[in-house]
Structure 1
Amino acid sequence: MVAQHDEHRPWWRRRRASADAPAAGPEPSDDELHANVTRLLARELGVAEPAADHPRPVTPARIAAWMADNHFSYFVDNDGDLGGLWRGRLFYFFLFGESAEILQIRGQWHREIAIERLEEVLDLCNEWNADRIWPKAYVRVRDNGRVHVVSEVATDLEHGATDAQLSQLLFCGLSTGSMFFDAIDEKYPDPAGSVP
């Protein structure tokens, strides 16, 4: 068996000095040990880069700024809720919770379905929800008996979000909602409001 010199081994496999070996010098101080460990970790793992952006609370103003930065049209309704159109579908952006920490992106399909199709639309929503994480799909029956199909992505942002995280969440809510509505469009070409 060929002996391997310690300097060619990874640091974690190097032999420890035996208790019989003479001491190499005075014991290092805590500060010196800390500096040695920091250098060792930097060499082995790389230097950590400081974050360019820190998580901040999500506000309607940040969502509106994101919409403006991405050249999306948006509005604020009479109730103060922020909404916009995405690929012809209406989406709202809500903040719920005691500290407005839960972001919800809720979309509504641009057409209504007849109440007689309720069971089959519920089955479609259940299939979607069983196969995918986003968006949550469900229906609402209005007072006039028409069925509205809804998508929803909700995220708890108790510790805030960076601009990049917020952008990803907003795109996720809009794009997955649109994918769901595209699937509904394929299943129910116009006129979807007619009785089967």
Structure 2
Amino acid sequence: MSSFVDRFRRRRPGAAGRGGAVRRGAPSGRGPARTEPVSDAELHDEVAALLARELGVAEPAQENPTPVTPARIAAWMTANEFSYFVDNDGDLGGLWRGRLFYFFLFGEKSEILQVRGQWHREVSIDRLEEVLDICNEWNAERIWPKAYLRVRDNGRVHVVAEVATDLEHGATDEQLSQTLFCGLSTGSMFFDSLDERYPDPAGSAP
């Protein structure tokens, strides 16, 4: 707040130069100028009133952020009636609209939550550059998810969507829910666009 107050003070009409006291001045024609200094407390109240008017009054938080753990992610899956599994490496995953998604925690303190999805179809190596252009176009126009390709040893190409969020200070249940839904929903939007671009013959009647 102090840096904002300093900027606010410098921008106020009648603010003195370096080391000078801030003084109030009345507009021309509205009476004599007031020359008494403005205290820090008064300035703080004015800034608070300005922020409240522009941004609205902040409501007190109902809960404090807590560290994100695999158990919290699993509890969120259960609460939303999503099926999930834990693989042999201990990673948590699940199916969302027929696509496989994993939920990872990276970083020194496991503070980075990553929601990573994989398109349920493979791409021929012959279409590598074509699909790569689609991913680059998506990344240039949208924030989420990050789209990229992985080439397997067998030459098949997998399309991946990823949303990573730094939750160093933890997250409330609501914040965690928004982050997980963001990863799942935006990843699904990208995969839906691929389905439209490359219709699956198995999904059409003969």
TM bucket by the smaller chain? 0.7 to 0.9
Cα distance between partner residues in 2 of 1:150 and 1:166: 22
Q: Is residue 105 of structure 2 the alignment partner of residue 105 of structure 1?
A: no
Q: Which runs of 4+ in 1 moved over 4 A?
A: 15-19, 44-48
Amino acid at match of 2:102: Y
Q: Is residue 144 of structure 2 the alignment partner of residue 134 of structure 1?
A: yes
Displacement of 1:189 after TM fit?
A: 1.3
Q: Deviations over 1:125-176 (max 9, x none)?
A: 0000001000000010101110100000001111111111110000000000
Displacement of 1:190 after TM fit?
A: 2.1
The runs of 5 or more residues in structure 2 that have no matched partner are: 1-25, 27-31
The higher relative CO (CA closer than 8 Å, separation ≥ 6) is in 1
1:155-174 → structure 2 map (5 Å cutoff): 155-174=165-184
Q: 1:81 aligns with which of 91, 103, 121?
A: 91
Corresponding residue for residue 126 of structure 2 = 116
Displacement of 1:51 after TM fit?
A: 1.0
Q: Deviations over 1:41-64 (max 9, x none)?
A: 69x958754210111110000100
What CA RMSD, in Å, does the superposition of the two structures yield over aligned residues?
3.0
Displacement of 1:18 after TM fit?
A: 7.9
Q: 1:91 aligns with which of 81, 97, 101?
A: 101
Q: 1:190 aligns with which of 182, 185, 200?
A: 200
Cα distance between partner residues in 2 of 1:18 and 1:103: 55
Q: Deviations over 1:99-150 (max 9, x none)?
A: 0000000000001011101010000000000010000000101011101000
Amino acid at match of 2:177: S
Cα distance between partner residues in 2 of 1:93 and 1:176: 15
Cα distance between partner residues in 1 of 2:195 and 2:57: 50
Cα distance between partner residues in 2 of 1:90 and 1:112: 13
Distance 1:187 1:17, change over 3 A: closer
Distance 1:164 1:120, change over 3 A: same
Structure possessing the higher radius of gyration over alpha carbons: 1
Cα distance between partner residues in 2 of 1:181 and 1:88: 10
Displacement of 1:70 after TM fit?
A: 0.6
Displacement of 1:188 after TM fit?
A: 1.0
Amino acid at match of 2:135: C
Cα distance between partner residues in 2 of 1:142 and 1:114: 11
TM-score (norm 2): 0.72
Corresponding residue for residue 10 of structure 1 = none
Cα distance between partner residues in 2 of 1:48 and 1:119: 49
Amino acid at match of 1:143: D
Cα distance between partner residues in 2 of 1:170 and 1:18: 55
